[in-house]
Structure 1
Amino acid sequence: MEHIKLALQGYNFGGGYITWAVDKYGGYSYSNAVEFSTMQAAKLGWERYGDTQYVSHVLRYYPYGRAFTTGGDTAIVEVALSQVGNVGGQPYWSWYGFSEHVDWCACFVSWSAEQCGYIDSGILPKFALCTSGEAWFKEKGQWADRTYEPKAGDIIFFDWDGNGVTTHVGIVQKCEDGTVYTVEGNSGDECRTRSYPVGGKAIYRYGLPRY
């Protein structure tokens, strides 16, 4: 998939990007796509150069999780990681049915689940409010407190205000050496990977899908 991303961005920017990205960074990343675009625009005297989000714009049209993942609890992680670098939350909130930009962390989790067929199969809910996702997992009895050591594919809920109400949600990438690694949509209006200590104060609870 990393090679596919490199090829896609190279198609948009031209072959010079591929050689430059491999030589300087070892491959594609969203940040180096932005760097290359800025460099080329300045060099050519243009206002902009290419589409820095071309990779996510193309991959959103593919049923990526169903076609190219290893399945099980890692499929949703693979899908989510393929979207890292997306800014603004398209197509997640529009896929959900909103006509304008909204807080899209839950939409991102739901979109990732849908790409794997998990909504149709009832493994994960389609939800746009974190509290709705919480209610679904509670009703199913698939709910763990913040001291739980999660595994790949678990759904992590956050309480930034410390008031006992969840306001943000993401997907657990892995848990190693007391650290939880996540993929989150709408983290500063961007899809990003982040990390937290197990049992950290910002963590609210976990939803535990039965893959």
Structure 2
Amino acid sequence: MKLVYKIGACVVLFLLILVMAIGGSEGERMQTPQIGVGNIAPAVAQYEPVVREELAKHGMEEHTGILLAIIMQESGGTASLDIMQASESLGLPMNTIQDPIYSIEVGVTHFARVINQAEENGVDFHTALQAYNFGTGYISFVAQRGGTHTKDLATEFSGIHATRMGWNRYGDINYIDNIMRYANAQEGNGSTGNAPATFEGDLAQLQSMWEQYEGMPYNFGGQSPATSFDCSGLWFYLFGQMGINIPRTAQEQYNYATEVSADDLQAGDFVFFHSTYNTPNYITHLGIYVGDGMMFHAGDPLQYASIETPYWQQHFAGYGRIIDFNS
């Protein structure tokens, strides 16, 4: 089954047409793809006027759609304070910025800087986008190696800097793919080409059920289609429809599940998160893993989302298995 991102009533559709050419005479811009941006959560879509106004200061209003996709990736579609994860572009620790408007101001300035440097160095648009995550050093790195971003170049650059800094990893080598989950590069069908694989058996049945509710709003305490769902209520209801009884709350479902490692993670396992809101419970959110760094969860709206965003990584608690769908 090919998954197609659906646009809920609260989600804003933006069409972005970018027609500048790369190289050429002075004043021309890089050729960028025609991109329609969909699946933008209300928590992000509300800032569209602010994003457009800040881009206008740099003469880059045409990039409004792709900026919203970047914000979706950086914030996980939540009302994050440093919504563009812009603190590090100022040389500050992560999440130092505590004002989403200021985060957008700083993030757009950083974005404009990487776009301008990319144009000056004659590299492609994806290199500029990856440089938003990696930093501007990636631009000269790619310029010296043909001028076109590839996953291999991103992996090489990340490995060099991770080793140099003594870290396990540096940046997100899948940043372009993750952004394009929200930016629909294929005109007409709304697909990014990065949808989860087709499932079989009971997991395929479960998938067909959760997709019926994709785009519905989040409802705290909700556990049925009549009310919509919260994060644990969705799975409490869907597993019940399959004759499988599981506990009701996120904390209880975490306690009930068998812990699995990242190496053993498979589609159908739960991904648990902590401290996403103020409560005595440690576990406050979960989704079901669907492969390729993606989950389906009762966000706002119910949707597919990357678990590799800074927001979800910051709150990551672990993986758990209630049903082994591969057995």
TM-score (normalizing by structure 2)? 0.33
TM-score (normalizing by structure 1)? 0.49
| Larger gyration radius, structure 1 or structure 2 | 2
